[in-house]
Structure formats: structure tokens, C-alpha cells
Amino acid sequence: MDKKHRPSLSCFLLTSLLVAAFAAAPASSEPGVRARAEAKKLRTVVIDPGHGGMELGAKGKYGHLEKDITLAIALKLKALIEKNLAFGVVLTRDKDVDVPVENRAAVANNVKADLFISIHTNGSRQKAAEGSETFFLSSGQTPDEETRRLAYLENNGSRIEDHVDKPSESDVKMILWDMAQTAYIRQSSQLADLIQAELNSLLGTRNRGIKQAPFKVLTGVACPAVLIEAAFISNPNEERKLATDEFQTSVAEAIFRGLSKYLQIYP
């Protein structure tokens, strides 16, 4: 191309500026669109500190209560998520209050939670029982007696003596929610597996693996959901660990790491 027909530098720059301005115009002229798009990206995880209020949960030999330890871990996990992930965090309780099992699931569903994590400490008649385990929902028969007993205790709590095993309207609702939760079994299983691997790595406790159990708090949730038994408060050695800030922080970090790895699979 000769000089006569070669576009000047000023012409080129003018054209570039016009293109840039045109490309930028929609974003600047419609800030509401961008705000709505960013809001849609923010997802929600619901953290459920087991028990609370009059519902003590399991109690250790030295007097430590499950309800206090689960809340401490939940608050630490909330802080980690809010600091490091683009997630909103909702707690089913943020203080020592009673929250019925059904209401915990309702909290998650009302905020349209993307994930639900319930935190507990384990209890057993066998004082030597130890380790951590992570559960996701079972829609069928629970495989072993110990898991069935744990699910029964978690589902009925300290008012277990008032439990009457008979059909009710709530039972029908649970069946319907069970059908809904079945759609998330695969994701729940993967989340449980990743969290359990981190618990094993960070805590140095015995690996009890991931299991399925019919926990009511999981059944009612319309999103991937897991229940974590951090360690056995019925075991005096693990009770002492659970009561320390260091161990509680490690549990929260393990859950956070597992969650972060899960989000790499389901971004």
C-alpha cells in the first residue's frame, strides 16, 4: 500500500477509541445489569451447629457439651468461608438456642442454599470408640447397628424418652423430602468424601470413613448436604481435644479444605 492510501496514525487511534467506547458503553450505561449478574454469582452455604439450648447433644466425661463445641467450630468455619470464598454463610443458630431439626432444614431451603453442612460430635456406649466420620443421606436401610443408633439419637435428641414411633404428618413430609434429596446423593457423597479425607489428614484421628444414614436434618434439605461427626466426645481423650481452640480450628480448616476441593469439581 502506498503512502497515499495508507491510513494515518491519528485515524487509527480515533477508530480504536470509538471501538473501545462502544464496547464499554453497555456496561457503564446499565450498572444494574452488572450488579444483578454479580449478585447471582454469590452462593450460599448453610452451616448447622448441632443441638443447642435445652438440646445438649452428647456429654463428655469431663462435662463438655456437644452443643457448645459444634457452635465454636461452626463460627470458625463461617469466618474461613467468608474470608476466602465468594459465598454467603448462614448459620442455623449463632448462639445457645433451641432449633428443631425441621427448622434447620427450613433455614437452608428458605435461603435457597447451595450447600448444607451439619456439625456434630460423636457419642458411643463404647468409651474407646474414636475418630471422625462424615455422613450423607441414606434413602435405604442403614448398614450397621451403631449407625442406626447414632441416627436415632441425633434425630430424637435429649427428648428421646418422649419419642413415639408412629406414623404422622411429619413422617409423610420426610418421605417427600427424602425423594427430593435423592437427586443430590452423588454430590453429597463427593462432598463427604473430600471433607473426610481432610479430617483424616489434619486431625490425625482414626479414619471411620464416610457413611450413609437417615438423619432427619439431611433429609429435609434441597441441596447437597453432609453431617460431620468430628470426634467422640464420649471418649475422654478426644473430649479433651474437642474442648481446645486448636482442635476446633483444625476441624474447621479440614471442612473448609474439603469444601474448597468440592468447589473445584462443582464451581
Inside any domain, residue 73: yes
What is the per-residue pLDDT for 81? 98
Number of domains in the chain: 1
Question: Residue 80's domain is classified under what CATH number?
Answer: 3.40.630.40
What residue numbers bound the domain in which 127 lies? Answer: 44-265
Inside any domain, residue 24: no
What is the per-residue pLDDT for 174? 55
Averaged pLDDT, 223-231: 97
**Statement: residue 175 has pLDDT above 60:** no
Inside any domain, residue 191: yes
Inside any domain, residue 12: no
What is the per-residue pLDDT for 131? 95
Inside any domain, residue 5: no
Inside any domain, residue 2: no
* Per-residue pLDDT tens over the stretch 27-37: 433 444 344 43
**DSSP for the chain?**
--TTTSPPHHHHHHHHHHHHHHHHHHHHH-HHHHHHHHHHH-EEEEEEE--BTTB---B-TTS-BHHHHHHHHHHHHHHHHHHHSSEEEEES-SSS----HHHHHHHHHHTT-SEEEEEEEE--SSTT---EEEEEE-SS--SSHHHHHHHHHHHHGGGGGG------HHHHHHHHHHHHHGGGHHHHHHHHHHHHHHHHHHH---EEEEEEE--HHHHT-SS-EEEEEEEETTSHHHHHHHTSHHHHHHHHHHHHHHHHHHHHH--
**Statement: residue 143 has pLDDT above 70:** no
Inside any domain, residue 235: yes
* Per-residue pLDDT tens over the stretch 58-116: 999 999 999 999 999 999 999 999 999 999 999 999 999 999 998 999 999 999 999 99
**What predicted TM-score, i.e. pTM, was given to this entire model?**
0.75
Inside any domain, residue 21: no
